[in-house]
Amino acid sequence: MKRFDQEPWGNGSIRRLRLSAHSLLGLEESVTDRLGWSYPDLAHLLRRISSTPGEDATELFRRMVFNALVSNTDDHPRNHAVLGTDTRQWRLSPVFDLVPSNDRSLDDRSLAMTCGVTPGRERWANRLNLVSGAQHFDLGIEEADTLITRMKEIVVGRWEDHVRIHGGTAQDARNIAHAIAYPGFDLSAEWSIADVELEGAFDPEQVTVHIQGPGELFVLVLPIEARRVRIVSSTSDALAALPVPMNIARVRRMATFTISLRQAETYLRGRVLLAGDAAHCHSPVGGRGMNLGIDDAFAAARAVHSGDVATYSQKRHIIGAKVMKASEAARKMVTSNSRLVHLLTQGAMGAVQAVAPLRRLVMAKMSSF
């Protein structure tokens, strides 16, 4: 095995000067010192000591993103290092000790080190959080986001071939597939919802979607009953996000939430049947959350009545997975940073709102299978 911290010297080898990020950051072996486990702090130190500070800062950002993409949550400071150079300066060492984790969470994974500046979520292995601290690595927001997109395409497209080429089996690939670009990597930080009653006339079949710019504001207005609608927004304030005024007579409820992508492995355990949010959570885009839960409850009651609870879990799990996949695809479309996807989505939404038969078809899909 060739070691990056050694180089030939006569008939043997000599070790190169190596300093771990743990030592470089001045950390000790205490729980409180974990607060100092930070990619941004390490990037600032590299700018002071590296012989190529800009290059090393950008490379550190890439490694941080790669760790998030493959769920390498063992990226503690001892797994980063700098090497001494011939000019008595330092360079970021080659990458080492990259191991995908066995974390099964679909929507929330955390790195060992701070990787962004999202309040309370600084270690979140998520695109928004990674981009939020781009300036610490001498990168602009758009530049960082583009770099992440390119890296994700490479990782998703090549990881399995890479595993097989280096001796991994098909089973090895299946064992780590859940670690690669997990669904929560691209989730938004906080959304909001509001149920309101309206004054005056309102079309109960009118579904309204507002999308302002690629990756920016998304607002969905869904009719619940005559003069009552549900507003869902990709911001923390659904009412403030409305781009056009609405005559609101009464606000029934308002709340903020983070999108979860979770599905129980089975909807049946002993004498207990799972349904609704106990069985699955997904994006509100598409308006299928409540309807899917009601459909679960109806199917559960029918299964108990007929004595066929054994097939309930299998059938409902397939349907739930289908809805989760569709709602997540829709969420990615309406929140995409691609201008082409943004234009296509706006065109599709415009057609739905303008053509009554198409609008009724969409409403039927949202309310039933």
pLDDT in tens, 240-274: 888 888 889 999 999 988 777 778 889 998 889 99
- Say what the pLDDT of residue 364 is: 56
- Say what the pLDDT of residue 158 is: 94
pLDDT of residue 106 exceeding 90, the answer is no
Q: How far is CA 295 from the centre of its chain?
A: 27
* Predicted confidence (pLDDT) per residue in 47-96, tens digit: 999 999 999 999 999 999 999 999 999 999 999 999 988 777 899 999 99
The full set of domains in the chain, from first to last, is 6-186 (1.10.1070), 192-367 (no CATH)
* Predicted confidence (pLDDT) per residue in 272-303, tens digit: 999 998 888 887 776 666 788 889 999 999 99
Whole-number average pLDDT of the chain: 84
Please compute the mean of the pLDDT values over residues 184-213 and round it to a whole number: 79
Give the end-to-end CA distance of the chain in Å, rounded to a whole number: 57
Is the CB of residue 128 less than 8 Å from the CB of residue 144?
no
* Predicted confidence (pLDDT) per residue in 296-344, tens digit: 999 999 999 898 888 899 999 999 988 888 887 777 777 666 677 667 7
The DSSP annotation for 156-188 comes to HHHHHHHHHHTT--HHHHHHHGGGTT-GGGG--
Confidence of residue 369 (pLDDT cuts 50, 70, 90): very low
Q: 10 Å Cβ neighbour count for 365?
A: 14
- Say what the pLDDT of residue 121 is: 86
Residues 6+ apart with CB under 8 A from 182: 71, 103, 105, 106, 107, 109, 125
Give residue 291's identity as a one-letter amino acid code. Answer: N
Q: What is the pTM of this model?
A: 0.67
The residue with tokens 């289908």 is 322
